[in-house]
Amino acid sequence: MEKLAVITGADGGMGTEITRAVAQAGYRVVMACYHPEKGRGVCERLKAETGNAALEVMPLDLSSLDSVADLTNRLLRRDERIDLLMNNAGTLETGLHITGDGLERTVSVNYVGPYLLTRKLLPLMDVGSRVVNMVSCTYAIGHLDFPDFFRRGRKGSFWRIPIYSNSKLALTLFTLDLARRVQGQGIVVNCADPGIVSTDIISMQMWFDPLTDIFFRPFIRTPRQGADTAIRLLLTPEGGQRTGTLFASGKPKALSEKFTHHPQMDELWQRTEELVYPWL
């Protein structure tokens, strides 16, 4: 049977490029999409472009833990081995939005949702399975203030960049922690920093955004260029030989002890476990 890959945010930007590469490599692909109708259009196009008909769309809203559980339960009932899990979907909210689960939406989509998705799918993974989490260089300026991190993204008033950075720090620490916990099972877990990429996540909702767009967008990476590091981690031999590693620009990037032995790593895991327990 063909190997199986699960890719979140597969209906746009880097997710489409990652899906294309994985499909071309011959994998069956579950395209987990926030916009299923858009996803089905992308799916049909990729089938024609790659010649791989084994692509399917499943709805996934990472701001709803019920939605995450619905998707994972469907896959668990199938009881098929997952070879690749790509946590690609992300958001950069421009205002404070609280989800039905009481979470700040950026934190839910970028961290808590992928955490729950990965934890529930681990029983379908085995020796050689790979998990890749899409992070960001902004993890380096992130801070975790508990319990404010989950409820509002940060201590104090809403500010989108610090909250985004905090969510990506949490996802990076989850990557490192999970890699240690499952290393004995032969499951490889890494994170990819795509750099600054020209995607829809760069919105035009703040007064200075059009100026940012004019001056910086011509110099930042295309979705295909941004996706390259994740694709390498998913598909190349080197991507299967390292675990608990951050890759940037297609190469491993050393993390300082500040992150590899982050003082809040254990607390983050325990608090998140308690939060998602009803869905586990």
The CATH number of the domain holding residue 252 is: 3.40.50.720
SS (H, E, C) 113-177: HHHHHHHHHHHHCCCCCEEEEECCHHHHHCCCCCCHHHHHCCCCCCCHHHHHHHHHHHHHHHHHH
50-87: pLDDT as tens digits: 999 999 999 999 999 999 999 999 999 999 999 999 99
Residue 202 has pLDDT above 70, yes or no: no
DSSP letter, residue 104 = B
Residue 278: inside a domain? no
Instruction: Give percent above pLDDT 90 in the chain.
Output: 87
Query: Any idea of the CA torsion for 128, 82, 236, 119, to the nearest 10 degrees?
Result: -80
The answer to the question of residue 157 being in a domain is yes
Report the DSSP pairing between strands 251-253 and 188-193: unpaired
Residue length of the chain: 280
Residue 211 maps to a domain? no
Report CA torsion sign: 17, 192, 6, 74.
negative
Cβ–Cβ < 8 Å for 197, 226: yes
Q: At what angle do helices 223-235 and 13-24 cross, to 10 degrees?
A: 40
First to last CA, the chain: 28
- The span from the CA of 278 to the CA of 195, in Å, is 35
Task: Kindly report the number of other CB atoms within 10 A of residue 37's CB atom.
Answer: 10
Query: Which pLDDT band holds residue 204 (cuts at 50, 70, 90)?
Result: very low
Q: Which residues contact 51 (CB under 8 A, 6 or more apart)?
A: none
The pTM is what?
A: 0.92
Predicted local confidence at residue 240, as pLDDT = 96
In a domain, 32, yes or no: yes
Confidence at residue 2, expressed as pLDDT on a 0 to 100 scale = 87
Range of the domain at 128: 4-195+223-272
The answer to whether position 28 is within a domain reads: yes
- Token pair listed for 248: 């940037």
| Predicted local confidence at residue 226, as pLDDT | 84
SS3 for 193? strand
Q: Specify if 213 maps to a domain.
A: no
164 labelled catalytic: yes
CA distances from 161 to 64, 136, 166, 254 (A): 22, 11, 9, 24
Helix, strand, coil share of the chain (percent; to 5): 50, 15, 35
Q: Domains in the chain: how many in total?
A: 1
Distances, alpha carbon 128 to alpha carbons 18, 31, 249, in Å: 19, 21, 23
* Residue from 27, 111, 115, 164 carrying the catalytic annotation: 164
Over residues 192-212, the mean pLDDT reads 60
Q: How much of the chain, in percent, has pLDDT values that exceed 70?
A: 91
127 in a structural domain: yes
- Whether residue 279 is contained in a domain is answered as no
